[in-house]
Amino acid sequence: EVQLVESGGGLVQAGGSLRLSCVASGSPFDDFIVGWFRQAPGKERQGVSEMSGWGASIYYADSVKGRFTISNNEGLTTVYLQMNSLQPEDTAVYYCAVAETYYNESYYTSRPYEWTYWGQGTQVTVSS
């Protein structure tokens, strides 16, 4: 089983940046699809980005493309989400997630309820 722990959230002004981290225990990311989704109060879960463990496939939701970057460390135990040019609409709890089956580059971003494992989330609040 995979355990995921996110960190790095916080309060930032519009236009600012944050870097989220997600540490995995139990299994390294190289065997999984990894990604991020977010959920704002009263709203549905929204896919943000995903990456195959070996880094060959990366996908971003249109709402974050060009502003967010997903990456991982060399040991494939930590995944990051660099978030730049943050806007108030980016305010949400951000979750790191993994899945075991690859379908296509955007499968889990468009189906954020199909991730297999996810962490407890980290709050990101962007003030205007």
Question: Please, are residues 11 and 3 in contact by the beta-carbon 8 Å criterion?
Answer: no
Residue 90: which pLDDT band, with cuts at 50, 70 and 90?
very high
Residue 9: which pLDDT band, with cuts at 50, 70 and 90?
very high
Q: What does the pLDDT average to over 40-69?
A: 93
pLDDT at 82: 98
pLDDT at 63: 97
Distances (CA, A) of 86 to 18, 55, 92, 128: 8, 25, 12, 10
Helix (H) or strand (E) holding 94: strand 92-99
Which one, of 128, 99, 127, lies nearest residue 10 by Cα? Answer: 127
Is the pLDDT confidence value at 53 over 70? no
pLDDT at 104: 92
Mean pLDDT of the chain: 93
